[in-house]
Structure 1
Amino acid sequence: MQKSIADSIISEEMMIPSDTAGIELFVRNKRRSDLVRFSVEKTVLFVAGSTYPASTSFDLRLDGVSWMDHLAQQGYDVYLVDVRGYGKSTRPSEMEEPASDNQPIVRTPVAVRDVASAAAFIRSRRSVDRINLIGWSWGTTLMSRYASENLAHVNKLVLIAPQWLRTTPSAADSGGPLGAYRVVERSAAKSRWLNGVPDDKKNAILPPAWFNAWAEATFANTGLGSDKLRAPNGTVQDSREYWASGKPLYDPSLLTMPVLIVHADLDRDCPMDMAQTAFSKLSAAPYRRWIEIGDGTHSVFMEKNRWQVFAAVDGFLDERMPA
């Protein structure tokens, strides 16, 4: 009898220390049960964007398989981390107080330190000096900034819907004064996800059952019932002070590892011109690649065309440069 995915993949969950007393980070690891030797080329860390956690995005089983499962099946040692204030990681104390009592929290430099904590943990655990990084949305900024500051510790870099200087309003910014965090409602999540998608394509691109699976996982155990969550506002403040003000938070020209950018044509959160500009500035990468996917949104890796994302990333991670 053929083993199921659940039988053949080991899944471990752990809380690791951050660089801040009282703040722990949730890390999940998946790997094949027969994987006993670990390597630079086959070690991967995921980090997500500015509203939702990595743990309900990259390890969301759709048609029985998550992206983490897929990579684990290919022989990868796969990790994700929820940065502080997101998912299962510690919520800073400001998130238990009225939002208006504090300034926006979990800004980019803080989250980059959380990525650094997770990456150092993985390198130590597996005795490898470099790992592969996959970031999505704000996570592309975190991974790019971390990589530019830790060139010796990054093997390859994958950027899904990369941030860059904005000429359009951020979808996460509703305007007005910003407190420490914002409350996001499940009822608004689907319309934001499918912003700009023609009505006759919505159910095909995002099958309703797939959205419901994501929403059930994402809005569970938030402390606000099953239809709301708190999202730190640090990224919104960063968007106002940096991305919308002509000041990038990372420098693509400092990245000296191979870089893959994956973008989808219906992405309204990070429009194509943003990704194109970031791509054009990867002047130090030994090679760089752009993959544009049709009929996909900002969350293309959780939609009907996610297999194209998987295939593009598989090919990029698996290939070896000629000697």
Structure 2
Amino acid sequence: MHKSVTDSIVCEEMMIPSDTAGIALFVRRKRRSDLVRFSADRTVLFVAGSTYPASTTFDLRLDGLSWMDHLAHQGNDVYLVDVRGYGRSSRPPEMEAPPSDHQPIVRTPVAVRDVASAAAFIRSRRDLDKINLIGWSWGTTLMSRYASENAAHVGKLVLIAPQWLRTTPSAADVGGPLGAYRIVERSTTKSRWLNGVPDGKKDAILPPAWFNAWAEATFANTGLGTDKLRAPNGTVQDSRDYWASGKPLYDPSLLTMPVLIVHADLDRDCPMEMAQTVFSKLSAAPYRRWVEVGEGTHSVFMERNRWQVFGAVDGFLDEEAPA
């Protein structure tokens, strides 16, 4: 375990066991140095999407502050986990072979088990019955499925750009046969990120220096140099077999905790109608909320208008529902 203190924020990094021999999960935790009382309503776990790790998205310092830092400064005990095959977690052995040697790996049930391992670790070390969950993109499917199966252990659920049934192509799926994993090239990432954004607004929405900071962090230590990374294809196969085939991967009506959906108007990966459909199906949530952010993409929480996401999530996590 590695621990450091910066700007009154304590950072711990650790590898925890998964439920699979030989696979360890990278977990980072941040909290204020004066935080000594830990509670369910002030404990948060992040999980990311189908291509990039949590560790270089939610804890990316832009203008000196990451979303993880922000939540820690607000008095939260904040964790993130990289699902196996992503970021600093163990790579399944199939990722060391040519991709065509194996079927797509790290499918949704496997990734949900990694979320469960991280959530159980957090609850156990702080003796908590519940924690709050924040998922982005594919991570919304992981968090929702975990929450639907473990409702007693989830306080509140935040879904950033939720997946749902789709009739449009997935941006992560270029078609053709799928191997165990895919190679993502740094040179293609900015155009995909800003897909659909008018040319005159691109630098305003995503400052070039912010993109470069993200790319430097995300493509470091991948084992493929500084311009490529490997991403498991399980999520792409699941998108074909489920979302694109009219079959949901979870049932929103089983989510019995408060739910916040945050979506941005220029998101081409998860169009607005997806998020609207999920919102409409949250029939068991004690209360539910939708926040639409203007001038933002699928990665709005790493863009100029990220403060709107931060504010919406702060308010949702802080509030106490009237009895």
TM-score (norm 1): 0.98
Aligned partner of 1:196 in structure 2 is 196
Moved over 6 A (4+): none
User: Partners of 2:267 and 2:6 in 1: how far apart?
Assistant: 32
The 5 Å alignment of 1:1-323 reads 6-323=6-323
- Partner deviation per Cα, 1:262-286 (whole Å, 9 max, x = no partner): 0000000000000000000000000
Q: Percent identity?
A: 87
Paired residue secondary structure (2:256): coil
- Letter paired with 2:92: P
Give, in angstroms, the shift of residue 44 of structure 1: 0.1
User: Partners of 1:322 and 1:198 in 2: how far apart?
Assistant: 43
Paired residue secondary structure (2:6): helix
Give, in angstroms, the shift of residue 6 of structure 1: 2.1
- Letter paired with 1:277: T
- Letter paired with 2:234: G
User: Partners of 2:210 and 2:7 in 1: how far apart?
Assistant: 23
User: Partners of 2:74 and 2:239 in 1: how far apart?
Assistant: 36
User: Partners of 2:249 and 2:92 in 1: how far apart?
Assistant: 23
Give, in angstroms, the shift of residue 322 of structure 1: 1.0
- Letter paired with 1:24: A
User: Partners of 2:149 and 2:7 in 1: how far apart?
Assistant: 39
How many residues matched? 319
Give, in angstroms, the shift of residue 7 of structure 1: 2.6
After superposition, the CA RMSD in angstroms is: 0.6
Unmatched runs of 5 consecutive residues or more in structure 2 = none
User: Partners of 2:321 and 2:144 in 1: how far apart?
Assistant: 21
- Partner deviation per Cα, 1:81-121 (whole Å, 9 max, x = no partner): 00000000000000000000000000000000000000000
User: Partners of 2:267 and 2:199 in 1: how far apart?
Assistant: 15
- Partner deviation per Cα, 1:190-240 (whole Å, 9 max, x = no partner): 000000000000000000000000000000000000000000000000000
User: Partners of 2:293 and 2:37 in 1: how far apart?
Assistant: 34
User: Partners of 1:240 and 1:41 in 2: how far apart?
Assistant: 36
Unmatched runs of 5 consecutive residues or more in structure 1 = none
User: Partners of 1:135 and 1:207 in 2: how far apart?
Assistant: 24
